[in-house]
A and B are shown apart, each in its own frame.
Chain A
Amino acid sequence: MNPLSFHAPVLLIAIPLLGAFAVPLIGRLGAHLRRIFTGLIALLTTACAGLVAATVFSAGTPITYVLGGRLTLPSGMNFPIRIILEVDGMSTFMVILTALILVTAVFYSFSYWRRRSGGTMYDSLLFLLGAGIFGMELTGDMFNFFVFLEITSIAACGLIGFRVWQGRSQEAAFKTMALYTLSGLFVLLAIGLLYGKYDGLNIAYLAAHIGSGLVDRIALGLLLVALAMKAGVVPMHMWAPDAYGEAPAPISAVLVANSQASLYGLFRVLFTLYGLAISVTTLGWIMIVLALLTIFIGVTMALIQSDIKRLIAYGAVSQIGYMLLGVGVGLATSAGQPDYGLVAMQGGIFHMINDAACVGLLFLAAGVIIRAAGTRNLNMMGGLAHDMRWTAMFFMIGALALAGIPPFNGFASKLMIYESTFRYSPILAVIAILGSILLLAVFLKVFQAAFLGPRTISPIERPSRLMLASMGVLALVVIAFGLFPGFFVHTIVGPAAKALWLGRDAYIGAVMGG
């Protein structure tokens, strides 16, 4: 293995981290240089993500990276407390998703802040958030996971409250930070409990020893509540519409990826850390019930919004439900492992990247719309399609994909979820389809309100080419994933679902040997 791909996992965390702390220094030399540097870091990070993906997919097994000194893995493991990065198919899938959203958000931000120069601090926090998300996805160590979780919390809330001249954004940032911190502390408490029982912090080591005693159950409950809270699952979603709605548009898109990183943590805990040590049917049904609640509450709350960003935010909340539904059915059936269980897992996981792309696209388009109309109130907009054809088209693509209309990507993953959950229990599929239909109604209303009708207002500010290009990249992803779902399910989603569904032994074996 060449040294570059050997070090790729740690570089993926190190490069955005370096960017975060170097941007303030480079910024002193001039705004133009800072932009070049920011773009370079974003592209390098994406290249690194590609390298990680290539390495893991060609290896076929989880790869490990040990930080600090030499240690002969997998057999000569004597310190289970050493920090290890462990990358399997699921981690790689999340890395691809995060890199896609991060790079579009960075380039979109270039022209987003032209008038109100937030500049240096904004770029710095954005890279810090990226580093934290990558860290959560790559780490093989529970405590390390907690540290990266807190890095994302702090950076994300700094960005949500970035517009200090708005009271609303401060309110959202405080609320989000309070809940993020609480969830972080729950995770830490659970880690303490597990450490007290097993004397180890490494996920693979813990997974090899974990039992189903009282301490394990309490730790599982704490992790479940904390990570579901940070992913914005109903009934712990109170922060999500505020945060998505009040954050600057590119940050809302990155926040979606951040929530999904927490969801990834939840899946990692359930499938890899605990596996069959727990009652998978009970936990699977808990996830399914939470999923249906999330779909239902998210969609109904979206119906009554008149603020465009808050409306999309509730749409984003409802989509978390579809991922939970797919993976919940997968978990509930993971003891017997029928075919449709794997399809449900694939559907749920495929929906993560589809949701990140189409919700991200909607948030970016909403940023342009709000700039152009000078208001966020849907009742005061109208006729924007006359002057902004491209934005109208991108918004339409995002909205149709979110509602699960062919030929866009949302349809591909939702169809997999419908089919497999129908086999498990028909009522689940019925509720999920109903949610999608309502969502379509909501977004047609938005499209009609903002873009159609006579030209009532002329755009205050038109989107720059760079903004259109960033949206175009996401729109291309939406269409490509919709047109060739088979290819993407085979190449990136399949290994991810397999890593969770069957890969527990391989994950443990990569560190513990045997």
Chain B
Amino acid sequence: MMIGNFPYIVAMLLVAIGIYALLFKRNLIKLVIGISLVETGVNLFLVTLGYRTAGIAPIYTYAPNAKPMVLPTPQALTLTSIVIGLATTALLLSFVVFIYRHYGTLNVREIKELRG
């Protein structure tokens, strides 16, 4: 099946939407969602990078099949990146919880002890 550059376009679109959310949204939760979108876009980009049309899973014992294999390295990178993403999202959300407890709001405009 030919899908060409379509996955790359989707990945970059996800990154762009995430950056848009980071720049223009005021709700802290939406900022975290924006970061997660960027991360998903980057992960999708990495997986797409290693994809070969009609490729098989990169396991050593499958090698004699003479079929093209999907590249294993980008998958390893993506796996690591997903784990790191989980940690950063959890940490960000826990900061949001504490901010809400202290200020009673999630609006960035209303949380402004640190200015100037």
> Is A262 engaged at the interface, CB distance under 8 Å to the other chain?
no
Verify B95–A173 contact, CB threshold 8 A: yes
Task: Check B88 against A181 for contact (C-beta < 8 Å).
Answer: yes
Q: How many residues of B contact A (CB 8 A)?
A: 32
Bitwise, B17-42 to A at CB < 8 A (1) or not (0) is: 00000100000100110010011001
Q: Is the CB of B73 within 8 A of A195?
A: yes
B9 close to chain A: CB less than 8 A: no
Tell me which residues across on chain A come within 8 A of B39, comparing CB atoms: 181, 185
- Size class of the contact patch on chain A: 35 or more
Residues of B within 8 A of A196 (CB): 49
Q: Interface segment, B52-60, B61-69, B76-84?
A: B76-84
- Judging by beta carbons under 8 Å apart, are B87 and A304 in contact? no
Kindly identify, within residues 69 to 116 of chain B, every residue whose CB is under 8 Å from any CB belonging to chain A: 73-74, 77, 80-81, 84, 87-88, 91-92, 95-96, 98-99, 102-103, 111, 113-114, 116
Majority DSSP secondary structure for residues of B touching A:
helix
Q: Nearest-CB distance from B6 to chain A (Å)?
A: 16
CB of B49 within 8 A of CB of A192, answer yes
DSSP majority for the A interface? helix
User: Which of B38, B39, B99, B114 gathers the greatest number of chain A CB atoms within 10 Å?
Assistant: B114
Q: Tell me whether B92 and A174 are in contact (CB under 8 A).
A: yes
How many Å lie between the Cα of A172 and that of B28 in the bound state? Answer: 13
CA distance A252 to B74 in the complex (A): 36
A272 to B42, CA, bound (A): 25
Collect the chain A residues with CB atoms within 8 Å of residue B91's CB.
154, 157-158, 177
Do B84 and A178 have beta carbons less than 8 Å apart?
Answer: no
Shortest beta-carbon distance, A460 to chain B, in Å?
23
Indicate which residue in B88, B99, B103 contacts A150 across the interface (CB closer than 8 Å): B88
Chain A residues with a Cβ under 8 A of chain B: 81, 143, 147, 150, 153-154, 157-158, 161, 164, 166-168, 170-175, 177-178, 181-182, 184-185, 188-189, 191-192, 195-196, 201, 241-242, 245-246, 301, 304-305
Other A-B pairs beyond A154-B91, A181-B88, A189-B42, 17, CB < 8 Å? A143-B80, A147-B84, A150-B88, A166-B102, A167-B98, A167-B103, A167-B111, A171-B111, A177-B91, A178-B31, A178-B32, A185-B39, A188-B42, A188-B46, A189-B15, A195-B73, A196-B49
Residues of B within 8 A of A (CB): 15, 22, 28, 31-32, 35, 38-39, 42, 45-46, 49, 73-74, 77, 80-81, 84, 87-88, 91-92, 95-96, 98-99, 102-103, 111, 113-114, 116
